[in-house]
Structure 1
Amino acid sequence: MKFDINVDKCVGAGVCALAAPEVFDQNDDDGIIVVLDPNPPREQAQRIQDAATRCPAAVITNVQP
């Protein structure tokens, strides 16, 4: 599956890491999104979509299974 990330827009809210911890984490210094798995399995699609929906800065886009 695929998705796009706009790191420059990230505000460090952390909802991505809570919604999809196998795919996303946060930088320890500033809380900015870190992609742990840039090519996650399809089983993660719902979690990634949930992370995209919850993100207050709309950093995660173009989620495609």
Structure 2
Amino acid sequence: MTWYKSQLAKLDKRLLDIFVLAYDTLHLALGYDGNLDADVAQAGLKRLKRLSIGSNSERLPFK
């Protein structure tokens, strides 16, 4: 998580904000808090999709 955040911070603060929101929703709310609401999962996935929109220079490789 730290590596991705530092790389996104260098590229684009907007992408960093989207990544953090998606992480909070998908990993923390669903994983740790046990939120099973499908709407919450859809919202997290929608945020994550926003990261893949744009040029290849905006995309980070999976580490």
Scaled by the length of structure 2, the TM-score of the pair is 0.35
More strand by share: 1
Q: Which has the higher contact order (CA 8 A, sep 6+)?
A: 1
More helix by share: 2
Scaled by the length of structure 1, the TM-score of the pair is 0.35
Structure ID, larger Rg: 2
